[in-house]
A and B are shown apart, each in its own frame.
Chain A
Amino acid sequence: MIRQVSVFIQNRQGKLESVLKALRDADVNIRSLHIAETADYGIVRLILQDTEKGLAALKEAGVMANINHVLAAEVPDKPGGLCRIVEALGKEDINILYAYSFNPQNTSNAIIILKVIDDDAEKAVSVLEAENAIHLLDRQELLKK
């Protein structure tokens, strides 16, 4: 399982900037960023190179942030790659809450970050591990990509 940092921000000018500045000042690299927004607020989801340090810097800056667990799946970067993941989970009635792409620097494969409900997480891991064309990454592997 991968640790993702979730940040709550109000949907207002300057809010995202203060989050990003806190990470910059702590010298923490963002490996992936995803924003889910409503009219009033949003959740910024981050995969950080150094999660502990980044979380501490955010808290220090008064940002509301906490850790959730997500899955990272590596698939060939070809048509139908992502489809395999969704199909495999769908067969087992596992719902994906949200998903976004991770930007790898050292592979031509695609990496997808996935969130399923916590009760389904273990089952999702075994389902995806059983698929040949899908490689589930652990934390160390992901950060090397």
Chain B
Amino acid sequence: MKYWNKTYECMSREDLKKLQLDRLKSTVERVYSHVPFYREKLQELGVGPEDIISLDDVRRLPFTYKDDLRDNYPYGLLAEPLSQIVRVQASSGTTGKPVCDGYTRNDLAMWSECVARGLVMAGADTTSVIHNSYGYGLFTGGTGVHGGAERIGCSCIPMSSGNTARQIMLMRDFKATHLTCTPSYASYLGEAFRDAGVDTAELPLKAGLFGAEPWSENMRKAIEKSLNIKAYDIYGMCEICGPGVAVECEKQDGLHFWEDFFLFEIINPETGEQLPDGEIGELVITTLTKEGMPLLRYRTHDLTYIIDEPCECGRTHRRIARLQGRTDDMMVIRGVNVFPTQVESALLDIGSVEPQYQLIVTREGKLDDLEIKVELSEDFNLSSIPELEALQKRMRDRIHSVIGIKAKITLVEPKSLPRSEGKAKRVLDLREI
């Protein structure tokens, strides 16, 4: 099976654009009539659904920011009543109120279609066994891949993350052909197989789809070598649907984004102006068929560029390059989105420390580690080491509950962390990826 849905994946550019325009119009109509937040925004801009005449008119639409999702938490941006919503998921590692998304039955079908196309690009068919090590739960990774695999008719193993010894045992016993997880966990599994004395060349495993955190071409090569597979990049986020928004084909040269479901733009993050194809800027996504939570021009903060050349694979949907970075200070650690401000408020909740801290991300071996250096308050009573250790433990537990990562807490002297003019240097990302 070369394509999951050849009609749509290989549709002519002309037909695809017509389809996009029809769907853009109905999306604007839908939010205008069902989402007060968007109606107000559109009215402020003096734009109505009737003003969308060509795809270029997308530029007249308002941007949607992550804060808009938080401000309208949890259901304020839904365009359908809860009676039509069949699932709610939320983004990983967000403090307090998460960013969440509500899906109708059609939304889930669209999402599983996206993932199915990606799995087929990685060689999956009804005989494949998908070992899904993405976390199951509110995070979209686990259920997202699961939906796509079931849609194809693969045998999906809902493994979730953790317990590596069991993972490698079941991958062998269940004869997994595909692995889905974060790239860092894939590397880790490669090491675990080696340590267990398993020759991965003898496993039926042939490909993997890896995403939810940044990785590099070098890391791809290392994973391909250690697991003896082809490794493909998969992109997505909870706000849009989850993994599968864009996926690599067998050419491994950029990720096809599904233009029948999403309108992609690359903009200058400072001015908001669209950039020509090939220039690096912020990826902005408008959903074209979503019913539950349609979004207009969602600012992803991800930096990439559009590859406009036709792909040899035959698919007509354009590609984005591997992600080039972020426009904000969000870090992705072990697949979890972490903002320094979350760490800051967690530390300050505990007290006894100053709002002076530094986050140091390293990749020791194959897994990301987070160290938080934080300055003790000048007036903290230094009575005993156990008290300092208890303080460290409270912070570690608090951070774990907020961002889901067990960080190493390092207490440092007051005024010892580097200060810089203006914005503090909060993050030291020492990972080589």
Residue numbers of A with Cβ under 8 A of B are 6-10, 36, 38, 40-41, 43, 62-66, 68, 97-98, 115, 118
Contact = CB atoms under 8 A, between A and B. Distances in A.
Give 4 closest A-B pairs by Cβ, nearest first: A6-B382, A36-B385, A64-B413, A64-B414
Given A40-B410, A64-B376, A64-B378, A97 B383 contact: yes
Contacts of B414: 62, 64
B381 A41 contact: no
Interface in B379-433: 379-385, 388-389, 410-416
Contact of A43 (B379, B385, B410, B415): B385
How many B residues touch the partner, as a band?
A: 10 to 19
A6 B385 CA distance: 11
A91 B383 CA distance: 24
Contacts of B378: 64
Contacts of B376: 8, 64
A65 B413 CA distance: 10
Given A64-B376, A64-B378, A8 B384 contact: no
Given A38-B389, A41-B388, A64-B376, A8 B413 contact: yes
Nearest to B410: A40
Contacts of A115: 383-384
A41 B413 CA distance: 9
A25 B116 CA distance: 73
Contacts of A6: 382-383
Given A10-B416, A64-B376, A66-B379, A40 B411 contact: yes
Interface of B: 376, 378-385, 388-389, 410-416
B290 to A, nearest CB: 49
18 contacts: A6-B382, A6-B383, A8-B376, A8-B382, A8-B411, A8-B413, A38-B385, A38-B388, A38-B389, A62-B413, A62-B415, A64-B378, A64-B380, A64-B413, A65-B382, A66-B379, A98-B384, A115-B384
B362 to A, nearest CB: 16
A68 B413 contact: no
A83 to B, nearest CB: 23
Contacts of A38: 385, 388-389
Residue among B381, B385, B414, B415 with the highest chain A CB neighbour number at 10 A: B385
A66 B388 CA distance: 14
A42 to B, nearest CB: 8
Nearest to A45: B382
Contacts of B388: 38, 41, 43
A38 B387 CA distance: 12
Given A41-B411, A64-B376, A64-B413, A7 B384 contact: no
B382 A97 contact: no
Contact of A10 (B380, B385, B389, B413): B413
A118 B416 CA distance: 30
A66 B381 contact: yes
A7 B382 contact: yes
Contacts of B379: 66
A7 B389 CA distance: 16
Residue among B412, B414, B415, B416 with the highest chain A CB neighbour number at 10 A: B412
Contacts of B412: 10, 41
Nearest to A117: B383
A98 B384 CA distance: 8
Nearest to B415: A62
Contacts of A8: 376, 380, 382, 411, 413
Contacts of B389: 38
A43 B413 contact: no
Contacts of A40: 410-411
Contacts of B381: 66, 68
Residue among B382, B414, B416 with the highest chain A CB neighbour number at 10 A: B382
A10 B411 CA distance: 8
Nearest to B384: A97
Nearest to B383: A68
Nearest to B408: A40
A38 to B, nearest CB: 6
Nearest to B382: A6
A68 B383 CA distance: 7
B414 to A, nearest CB: 5
A80 B389 CA distance: 33
